[in-house]
Amino acid sequence: MSAEQQISFSIQDLFSVKGKVVVVTGGGSGLGKAIAEGFAVNGAKVYIVGRRLEALEKAAKEIGGDIHVVQGDVQTREGCLEIVNAVKANEDHIDTLINCAGVNSPWRVVAKDHNDPDQVENMLVNGIIEEDFNSSNQINVNGVYFLTVNFVPLLRKSADPNVCVIASLAALANIRSMGSITYGVSKAAVVHLAKLLAGRLHPMKIRVNTICPGIFPSEMTGTTTAGKHEYSINHQAEKAALRCTAGRPGRPEEMVAPVLLLSSPGGAYMNHALLTVDGGRLMGASINDGIRLPDSTYTDDILG
C-alpha cells in the first residue's frame, strides 16, 4: 500500500481543478455563481443549473470560460432527473457536484420583541404554514438527495468523484437572524443527509463533504448591485455579520477557495467533513446570541 507523494507541492498542482467536469446548482446568482466562476477560471468545464434561464444566461456571459447553462428545478425528483439527463447528453462523467441551490421561507408574521411571550406565540402559530416547510424541504433536502443519487452513474466514472453540499450555519446554531424555523430545520436535515450519503457512497469511493456558510452577500441576504458578485445586504444580515470575529460578511473568494480545495488533489483525502466558513460566527453565537437573561445572572467580569 503506497502513500508516496503523487503531485508537487506547488499551488498550481495542489489545488488544480483543470479539466474537471463540474455541476453547480443555484449557479445563476449568489454563492453558486461565484463557485461556478471559481471553477471556470481555473480550467474546469462547468454546468450551472437553476430555474431562471435569464439569470443563468447572464451569469454565463459574465463568468466566461467553458460554462454551460441547464435550466432545471431540483424541487422534484422528475426535475432532478431532467437535469441529470441534460448533462448526460453531453458528458460521459462528472467529477464534482456542488449542491448550492437553496431557499429560505421568512416568517409571515414577525415578533418585534422576541422576549414578549404574546408576540412570540403569535409568530409561531401564524408565522409559518405547511407550504413553507414543504418548499424548504423539497429544495434544500429532497433536491440534494435526488440530484446526487441520480448523478451517481456519472460520478462513478470519475477518477476522484466528489460531492459538496452548501448548507448553512443555521443548521448548527440557534440564531434568530438566520431566517425562519423552516430554513434551519431543512439545513440541519441536509447536513445529516450529506453524512448519510458519504456512508452510502463509500463503496463507490465518492466523497461527500459539507460547508456551512455564515453571512455572505447573496439574493437571500440582500439585493444585487451593478457588480458581478456585489450585493447590498439587508439590515438583518448586516447586523448579524457584525457579530462574527471578522466583523463583516464573507467575501466571494472566501467561499470559492474551500470548495475548490475539496474538489482538488489537495482535498482528495477529505470525506464526511463539515467546514464552517463563517468568520467566527458560530463561535460568537455560542457566547453572544440567544435569549438575553438579566444582567444579574452573569458574572461581574464578563457581561455578555
A 10 A CB-CB count for 48 gives 32
C-alpha cell at 61: 456571459
What is the pLDDT averaged over residues 238-266? 92
Cα gap 136→132, rounded to integer Å:
6
Residue 62 lies in a domain: yes
Question: Is the pLDDT score of 10 beyond 80?
Answer: yes
DSSP 159-182: SS-EEEEE--GGGT---TTS--HH
Contact 155, 117 (CB under 8 A): no
Residue 9 lies in a domain: no
Residue 238 lies in a domain: yes
Domain encompassing residue 167: 16-108+135-285
User: pLDDT class for 223, splitting at 50, 70, 90?
Assistant: low
User: pLDDT class for 64, splitting at 50, 70, 90?
Assistant: very high
C-alpha cell at 96: 464534482
Pairing outcome for strands 231-233 and 274-277: unpaired
User: pLDDT class for 302, splitting at 50, 70, 90?
Assistant: very low
For residue range 109-152, what is the model confidence (pLDDT) as tens digits? 988 887 789 999 999 999 999 999 999 999 999 999 999 999 99
Residue 80 lies in a domain: yes
| C-alpha angle 138-84-139 in degrees, rounded to nearest 5 | 10
Write down the pLDDT at residue 241: 84
Question: Is the pLDDT score of 304 beyond 50?
Answer: no
Q: At what angle do helices 143-155 and 181-200 cross, to 10 degrees?
A: 20
> What's the Cα-to-Cα distance from 241 to each of 114, 234, 249, 279, rounded to whole Å?
20, 11, 5, 8
Residue 6 lies in a domain: no
For residue range 18-52, what is the model confidence (pLDDT) as tens digits? 999 999 999 999 999 999 999 999 999 999 999 99
Cα gap 206→201, rounded to integer Å:
6
Query: Nearest Cα to 25, choosing from 190, 153, 265?
Result: 190
For residue range 173-203, what is the model confidence (pLDDT) as tens digits? 887 766 789 999 999 999 999 999 999 999 9
Residue 57 lies in a domain: yes
| CATH code for the domain of 174 | 3.40.50.720
pTM: 0.92
Residue 91 lies in a domain: yes
Query: What phi and psi, each to the nearest 5 degrees, are found at residue 103?
Result: -135, 155
**Which string of b and e fits 114-133 if b means at least 16 CB within 10 Å?**
eeeeeeeeebeeebbeeebb
Cβ partners under 8 Å of residue 299, min gap 6: none
| C-alpha angle 140-231-131 in degrees, rounded to nearest 5 | 30
Q: What is the mean pLDDT of the chain?
A: 91
Partnered with residue 69 across adjacent β-strands are 48
Residue 55 lies in a domain: yes
Three-state DSSP state, 95: coil
C-alpha cell at 13: 498542482
The count of structural domains within the chain is 1
Residues present in the chain in total: 304
**Percentage of residues of the chain with pLDDT beyond 90:** 74
What is the pLDDT averaged over residues 241-255? 91
> What's the Cα-to-Cα distance from 145 to each of 88, 233, 294, 304, rounded to whole Å?
18, 30, 44, 40
Partnered with residue 96 across adjacent β-strands are 22, 162
Question: Is the pLDDT score of 295 beyond 70?
Answer: no
